[in-house]
Structure 1
């Protein structure tokens, strides 16, 4: 059975404004929260963490019965999960009016690059149109004190130098429809904050990985699947293996979301990068996955055309560290080991 989210009442203090420090151990206790896409990979980890912190959590997800970390967790019985699409104005408005959340984390998206090429219209409709629908609904209620949007490092397009990308770097032409759709949504959130005073912020993450990610079109789950199949350690022709990217453990991503919401009253409308700041070649990442799997350093196969200049992308997280007190805590090797262990044994306990 799912828990029911109570109506708003006078007992929960508003999100504070001012220079005083926020105590995460008590901030979320009794606070009403809505997470769109909360049954997915990143959303599930966020929901589990919010429940552990004492929040009363509702989830809006168009696939509420999907397998994932939330379905595997005891926290699932403490969450009110409703099936619904963020493109559906009536569904979104109804959820906001019934739950009256103080904080909204918007993670619902079509997140896969290959799928965005196969189904561009659906990707744009969900990622850009769905975000607009939710922004309009939030604008018309008076109880949302923090709107946190899950954007992407894809906002910055392709990059070929070692300089970490900053929040004030411009959006660059995306190489796929996923990137284009997220740029549109990112810019819309910023515009609503400036135009209507909406208490909103944008989080840009790079290559989040971690336990329970079942999307094998992404690098780390693909590597784990290949290892389990026992065949060639083959990563196809999408890359030559030299691309160097910033990888962020999902637990560090979750803490980034929370820090933004906790301090949003002091930094409304801001954008924040979250990453390790240390780009790693993807061929080295999958070698690390192989070693974590069975201590064998396999040589991965990448059959993409050889690049004269490798793609390099990492994020400058100075603003998150300065404004929010956030820093990544899980090194890549440790995070990959946790991810492989979860795939082999399932959730702890």
Structure 2
């Protein structure tokens, strides 16, 4: 864990960035940048020992931020549900501007996404695989562009950079498995891709906090590009069945070619660079349910098999 550093975390109220900012604030000066339109977010950051800073990444105004950060974890994002030009500007061009502004940092992490990969069928997705836009095309396309912009700037100005391709995160703050849990509890169908089973490598909060810090530490020139996921592979069918068994409600699955393709990452390079995750998926999923729904009495036994 880093100590005595001045660290910028953008998107700091989000489900990935907030736990990282909170953990780092114990031994560092941490600035948490976000739009902060809701005062609750500002208060939550301050209560965690993080210095709140209002920042709109769709503009090129970084005047609210110092320029002497030693590390940066950039997770702020336009989700691509609006205008595509705004999404591209925010996620690619303004990310490049922020990277250049923080060019004196010892490590800069850019949060990309595993959803940039073109689907490769029944095998894990490696960092060398080509990009595609399996869903949310504005978002995926902007992240491909952002990787190119950041790689060019980091190489030209010798800025240590790590590009993490985030796959499936989960925990008390949320994530795709948490969304599917809510569908199970509500009796709503879970839509999956017909090329089943739908394999993922979900990563629990404790592990992604550790890997987020590690990603800053290993930043280099040329940039380090690495999948960011859990070490264990499990299908969405199996983990939803496990969640259903915990809460006493069977999941309902529907299959559609319009659903996101299975996001099954190759974690070989991740193991070499960041290490192995420690939280077993069943333990993490139980902890997620307990944190998000303490009112539920969870089933203690599960004997399901992999789908």
Aligning the two structures, in what range does the TM-score lie when normalised by the shorter sequence? 0.7 to 0.9
Match of 1:302 in 2: 254
Question: What pairs up with 1:5-154 in 2 under 5 angstroms?
Answer: 24=1, 28-52=2-26, 54-63=27-36, 65=38, 76-90=47-61, 92-97=62-67, 100-111=68-79, 116-117=80-81, 119-139=83-103, 143-154=104-115
Residue 282 of structure 1: how far off its partner (Å):
2.0
Residue 96 of structure 1: SS of its match in structure 2?
Answer: coil
| RMSD, matched Cα | 2.9
Q: Aligned partners of 2:183 and 2:265: how far apart in 1?
A: 29
Q: Alpha-carbon deviations, 1:92-127, whole Å to 9, x = none?
A: 244033xx211011000134xxxx355434432322
Residue 59 of structure 1: SS of its match in structure 2?
Answer: strand
Match of 2:126 in 1: 166
Structure 2 residue 151 is matched with structure 1 residue 190: yes
Q: Structure 2 stretches of 5 or more lacking a match?
A: 296-307
Q: Aligned partners of 1:145 and 1:257: how far apart in 2?
A: 15
In terms of mean alpha carbon deviation, does 281-290 or 199-208 score higher? 281-290
Q: How has the CA–CA distance of structure 1 residues 78 and 173 changed in structure 2, closer, same or farther, with 3 Å as cutoff?
A: closer
Q: Alpha-carbon deviations, 1:276-332, whole Å to 9, x = none?
A: 35443322222222223x2x250323152599xx944322223332234x1111121
Q: How has the CA–CA distance of structure 1 residues 72 and 173 changed in structure 2, closer, same or farther, with 3 Å as cutoff?
A: closer
In terms of mean alpha carbon deviation, does 313-322 or 246-255 score higher? 313-322
Residue 202 of structure 1: how far off its partner (Å):
0.7
Residue 345 of structure 1: SS of its match in structure 2?
Answer: coil
Match of 2:237 in 1: 283
Match of 1:235 in 2: 190
Structure 2 residue 238 is matched with structure 1 residue 270: no
Residue 261 of structure 1: how far off its partner (Å):
1.6
TM-score, scaled to structure 1:
0.74
Match of 1:250 in 2: 205
Residue 80 of structure 1: how far off its partner (Å):
0.8
Residue 101 of structure 1: SS of its match in structure 2?
Answer: coil
